[in-house]
Structure 1
Amino acid sequence: MANNAASNSTAVVYISYLYLTEFTWAANILIPSWPAMTLFGFVANITNILVFLRIGVNDNVTILLLSLSISDLMYLTLMTPTVCSYIMLIFAPYWPWPTHIVIGIELLYWPAITCYDFSAFLSVWLGVTRCACVAMPLQFKSVFTKGRTVKLVLASFLLAVCLRIPIMTVNRLGWRTDPNTNISYAYVENHNRRAMTQINDILNRNSILYINFIIMIACVSILSFKLYQASRIRKSYTSASTTQQTSEKPDRQGLSAKDMHVIRSVVLVGSIFIMSQAPFLLFSTARLISDKFDILQTDRNRYLFFTFSIVSLTCSYLNASVNIFVYYNYNSKYKSELSSMLNKFKKPRTEI
């Protein structure tokens, strides 16, 4: 190809860190799992979207869960070029690229992260709405109406985009000429990278991230305590009662069995969010404290940066893919509708 020499030299720079001990396990264990996680994430989120649409978007929780599935699907789609480029750089560094290899890594990275921010906002709103449902059940329906929830989703998306606009202006497509062949090829050029990165680190990677993290921890803690409290009261009430109680009969805390299943699902989604965000939180804090913790450095900090990047990206893939298990186990409508959809694909038995 025209730019083989330029691409190969860049590839050598990118993969030189592979020979360090702290990076080897991440490169050889986590990165090979990305294609399978990507494929599963596509299937899982498309399934979620179809199921929620068939159920009917009639309440605020379903609206948020449907929006979360769409956002996760968008994130996986936009992040796929970056993931594929990383895999090619590491396992096939001398592949003859038709364009500059950094295009695949950086061009759609920040739009993908914007979708991931949108998913984070939706996860936080799920926790907040469930806390509000427990704290003020009588006022809940009048406060979090279907129309307001739709407006909240749209506002969250616009907020995610606006917060990432500074860093998304850094990467631009340009053209270079290979001195060996005198043929031009596309590449990604950076404008005001250091200044925009600092703004992004302070605003998105730390301030907003910490706010979301703290709110989600508070919501998960409150809901977990309410579940524990309701479970104890339900057990004592059931043991003292001589009549069998139905699954929809509320306990003394106003939580029916259906309510408890919904809250459990939100707690699990929130817990997945917390665990997946923790490595990224440490990664962002370290980058804010030390400006040497960056991809552009040439010392050991660069290798640590790549290691944390791989761990964080793997956690984000898990966060965008595994919610289907939560929905299936704790959402009776979801489980019933999914089972009905799967039964339609089964071939009927023919009698001889």
Structure 2
Amino acid sequence: MDSTVNSTQVISTDSSLPFAQLHAWAVSIMVPAAPAILLFGLISNIINIIVFFKAGLKDNVTTLLFFLAISDLTFIILITPTPCTKIILRFARSWSWPFPLDFTYLLLYWPAFTAYDLSAFISVSLGVMRCACVAMPLKFKLVFTRRRTILTVLALFVLAVSLRIPVLSIFRVAWRTDAATNVTTAYLAAVNRVAMSRINDVMNRGLVVWINYAIMVSCVALLSFKLFQASKIRRSCSSKSDSTSKKTAGDGLSSKDLQVIKSVVIVCAIFIFSQLPFLLYSTARLINPELTSTSRMRRLFSFFSHVSLTCSYLNASINIFVYYNYNSKYRSVLISLLSFRKKH
């Protein structure tokens, strides 16, 4: 869901260019909204980390959700300078920058989306593990132990960093001296930007995102079918007043298991919908290389970038609502923490 936008073209309003109105709409609505979304995401993910830690990382789902909150929080912290730069360019153009503009706009951009990639991989793992739970509920706990889950997250972290090495190597801080004043200043140097960006386009924007998306959609479809099937069984059991069957309706899955599946399905669905704008425009960019930040189609590119970035902010911020509504353990721990604070 990343977008490489030239910082000098972040806020430009040349109405003669194609798609200028679309771009202007995105700038006027999405740019001001970004700080509020990110602030909420910062607070919500800190709460998620505390609650899951207090609940105890005793099962694979809680462990994965704990690390998902950490990766989402890391993404939000690292990406925050980028939308803040856009805000300044939008509402305080005359502000005197004490350092090069690229420092706040680009320096942490790719590390931020490396963390976002890790969140995507963890979300995919959640879906796969829940599908495995449905396929083999009796063996599930033996296969996906807590230790193996932690090792899986570490492997996913290495994978996320490795895949982003081409773009992580582009920007570096360099120094130059003004011959007239003999003053040395820092600037952001770009190395092999075109070649590394193209590798990133093909690999991370193309192959990886499509694999993630296909796996996630398949998992959501399977789990949604399982929930539908379990719902039918429960209605049948309810009509027969069979209380014992109600507890294990759904091929051996308990009510608690079904609630966990619901929460995973919604988290995965949020990922699917938030990833869709990026999936569409990144694929279009591979087909039509003219869709870049420096071509005549840069307004259209910028519009999709704003939409994609806003969706990524939301994806990293709103899981707290899912956990509170569908995770009884999360809800009870959060309420107990809030009650404790009120008493003191």
Alignment TM-score, normalising by the size of structure 1:
0.91
Letter matched to residue 213 of structure 2: F
Shift of residue 322, structure 1, vs aligned partner: 0.4
Shift of residue 251, structure 1, vs aligned partner: 1.4
Determine helix, strand or coil for the equivalent of 2:49. helix
Shift of residue 14, structure 1, vs aligned partner: 4.0
User: Alpha-carbon deviations, 1:299-323, whole Å to 9, x = none?
Assistant: 2x11111111111110001000000
Query: C-alpha separation between the residues in 2 aligned to 1:264 and 1:81?
Result: 35
Aligned to 1:255: 253
1:310 corresponds to 2:297: no
Determine helix, strand or coil for the equivalent of 2:317. coil
Shift of residue 175, structure 1, vs aligned partner: 3.2
Aligned to 2:279: 281
Aligned to 1:293: 291
User: Alpha-carbon deviations, 1:292-344, whole Å to 9, x = none?
Assistant: 211233x2x11111111111110001000000000000111100000011112
Measured on the aligned residues, the alpha-carbon RMSD in Å equals 1.9
Contact 1:18–1:24 (8 Å) recurs in 2: no
- Deviating runs (4+, > 6 A) in structure 1? 178-182
Shift of residue 131, structure 1, vs aligned partner: 0.4
1:238 corresponds to 2:238: yes
Query: C-alpha separation between the residues in 1 aligned to 2:205 and 2:306?
Result: 16
Query: C-alpha separation between the residues in 1 aligned to 2:137 and 2:214?
Result: 23
Contact 1:11–1:93 (8 Å) recurs in 2: no
Determine helix, strand or coil for the equivalent of 2:236. helix
Q: Structure 1 residues 252 and 53 mapped into 2: Cα distance closer, same or farther (>3 Å)? A: closer
Structure 2, unpaired ranges of 5+? 1-5
Letter matched to residue 336 of structure 1: S
Same amino acid, percent of matched pairs: 55
Aligned to 1:218: 218
Q: How does 1:76-225 map to 2 (within 5 A)?
A: 76-176=76-176, 183-225=183-225
Determine helix, strand or coil for the equivalent of 1:52. helix
Query: C-alpha separation between the residues in 1 aligned to 2:112 and 2:195?
Result: 21
Contact 1:131–1:219 (8 Å) recurs in 2: yes
Query: C-alpha separation between the residues in 2 aligned to 1:90 and 1:289?
Result: 32
1:271 corresponds to 2:248: no
Letter matched to residue 281 of structure 2: F
Determine helix, strand or coil for the equivalent of 1:346. helix
Query: C-alpha separation between the residues in 2 aligned to 1:246 and 1:261?
Result: 16
Determine helix, strand or coil for the equivalent of 2:138. helix
Q: Structure 1 residues 11 and 196 mapped into 2: Cα distance closer, same or farther (>3 Å)? A: closer
Q: Structure 1 residues 45 and 252 mapped into 2: Cα distance closer, same or farther (>3 Å)? A: closer
Contact 1:238–1:245 (8 Å) recurs in 2: no
Structure 1, unpaired ranges of 5+? 1-9
Which structure carries more relative contact order (alpha carbon 8 Å, separation 6+)? 2
Q: How does 1:35-74 map to 2 (within 5 A)?
A: 35-74=35-74
Shift of residue 178, structure 1, vs aligned partner: 6.6
Contact 2:277–2:307 (8 Å) recurs in 1: yes
Shift of residue 162, structure 1, vs aligned partner: 0.5
Contact 1:100–1:185 (8 Å) recurs in 2: no
Query: C-alpha separation between the residues in 2 aligned to 1:140 and 1:58?
Result: 14
Letter matched to residue 275 of structure 1: F
User: Alpha-carbon deviations, 1:263-300, whole Å to 9, x = none?
Assistant: 00000000000001001111211221222211233x2x
1:333 corresponds to 2:326: no
User: Alpha-carbon deviations, 1:149-189, whole Å to 9, x = none?
Assistant: 11100000000000001111111222356799774432212
User: Alpha-carbon deviations, 1:55-114, whole Å to 9, x = none?
Assistant: 000110011000000000000000011121121122222211011111111100000000
Contact 1:15–1:93 (8 Å) recurs in 2: no
Q: Structure 1 residues 191 and 140 mapped into 2: Cα distance closer, same or farther (>3 Å)? A: same
Question: Quick check: 129-138 or 339-348, which moved more?
Answer: 339-348
Contact 1:177–1:183 (8 Å) recurs in 2: yes
Determine helix, strand or coil for the equivalent of 2:11. helix
